[in-house]
Amino acid sequence: MVVLTVGKSYIDIDGYASGIAYRELLTMQGISVKFVSNAVTNSSVTKSLLNLPYGIDDYKVNSDDKFILLDFSNPNFIPEFVDIGKVIEVIDHHPGYEDYWDNSVIEEIGAVATIIVERYQKCGLLNKMKKEIALLLMAAILDNTLNFTAKITSDRDRNAYKLLQDISKEYNFAEKYFLECQKCIEADLKTSINNDMKIEYVNDIIPDVFGQLTIWDIKKILDNKSEIYSIMNSYGNKWIINIISLKDNISYILYSDSIVKSKLEKLFNCRGEDYLIIKPALIRKEVMKKAKEVI
């Protein structure tokens, strides 16, 4: 059996959609495959998408299985059930671990979902893709490119999205999707933050604890700043959280203290009071990349 999986911390819509879509593609090619994960989905995987007739498999991994890693390549995030010696492929869009893996496709584009769409196309099976799979992949591309405003967005992402629109016949999907994400976040801010928390050392410029929320409109979220501080402080005394408001294409970056603030102001060459305002918005991996480039 080939087992597809994502990082152990949480599952965002890119990992979730790519796992389901790639499982369907490999199955069509006659390969026995399961999509397995013990991680929780975050707010980017909305209720309507979870209610589609596709999901993670209830399957117990055994010693004969081989593994494909999706949407991550950092070995620190490998789930416990994965035998690293039996990883046959890594498909990711987070640079930095290309030399660690023998069989990797790590490309600096918007979404892993884009790579999966291209594989359907290369195999001549794009016309066999179900509407529900197309919707999942569309959401993944939208979320990971910030509705095509992120710097990481490529023409490949845009082309893949257009192909998916033709399958789904959904031409006004973006605002509907992001408003559903925001509704979920507002209903349970604590869970939404906890389920999209990355704890990873980059360097001394940004803290290890790095939260992120992607929403449509910032106003209601900023009205709950005190709750956000309380949630983030539970992770320690050094943190940042990137709250992306797609309506105005701005990153609002909140921070733990004046020391972190000073480093961020230097990194972005700007000044802030309660938070930094970065326009155009940046996704977390772009902030991490910018911090790495300073060294």
First to last CA, the chain: 43
CATH superfamily of 2-177: inorganic pyrophosphatase (n-terminal core) (3.90.1640.10)
pLDDT > 90 in the chain, percent: 88
Average pLDDT over residues 206-210: 97
pLDDT at position 19 over 90 = yes
The gap from C-alpha 101 to its chain's centroid, in whole angstroms, comes to 21
267-283 residue pLDDT tens: 999 998 889 999 999 99
Cis peptide before 75 (omega within 30 of 0): no
Average pLDDT over residues 135-144: 97
CA dist., res. 280 & res. 36, Å (int): 36
Pick the CATH number of 188-294 from 3.30.465.10, 3.10.310.20, 3.30.70.980, 3.40.50.720: 3.10.310.20
| 231 in Cβ contact with 190 (< 8 Å) | yes
pLDDT at position 27 over 70 = yes
CA dist., res. 51 & res. 254, Å (int): 33
213-245 residue pLDDT tens: 999 989 888 888 999 999 999 999 999 999 999
| 236 in Cβ contact with 211 (< 8 Å) | no
**Which residues touch 200 (CB under 8 Å, ≥6 apart)?**
74, 76, 208, 210, 288
User: Would you mind telling me the total number of residues written for the chain in this entry?
Assistant: 295
| 33 in Cβ contact with 1 (< 8 Å) | yes
Domain with CATH 3.10.310.20 in the chain: 188-294
**Other residues' Cβ atoms within 10 Å of the Cβ of residue 122:** 9
Which pairs with CB-CB distance under 8 Å and at least 24 residues apart come from 254-259?
254/225, 254/228, 254/229, 256/207, 256/232
Helix, strand, coil % in the chain, rounded to nearest 5: 40, 15, 40
| 146 in Cβ contact with 13 (< 8 Å) | no
CA dist., res. 189 & res. 77, Å (int): 24
pLDDT at position 189 over 80 = yes
Q: Which helix (H) or strand (E) holds 132?
A: helix 131-145
What three-state secondary structure class fits 148?
Answer: coil
CA dist., res. 267 & res. 20, Å (int): 38
Q: Which tokens in the block code for residue 85?
A: 């010696």
Q: What is the pLDDT of residue 294?
A: 82
Q: What is the DSSP letter of 3?
A: E
Q: What is the pLDDT of residue 146?
A: 92
By C-alpha distance, which of 234, 252, 238 is closest to 201?
A: 238
pLDDT at position 60 over 90 = yes
Q: List the beta bridge partners of residue 277.
A: 252
Structure confidence at residue 184 as a pLDDT band (50, 70, 90): very high
Q: What is the pLDDT of residue 272?
A: 85
Q: What is the pLDDT of residue 295?
A: 63
Q: What is the pLDDT of residue 96?
A: 85
Q: In what order do the strands lie in the sheet with 87-92?
A: 33-35, 2-5, 66-70, 87-92, 104-106
Phi and psi of 233, rounded to 5°?
-65, -20
Domain with CATH 3.90.1640.10 in the chain: 2-177
Average pLDDT over residues 196-211: 94
Structure confidence at residue 95 as a pLDDT band (50, 70, 90): confident
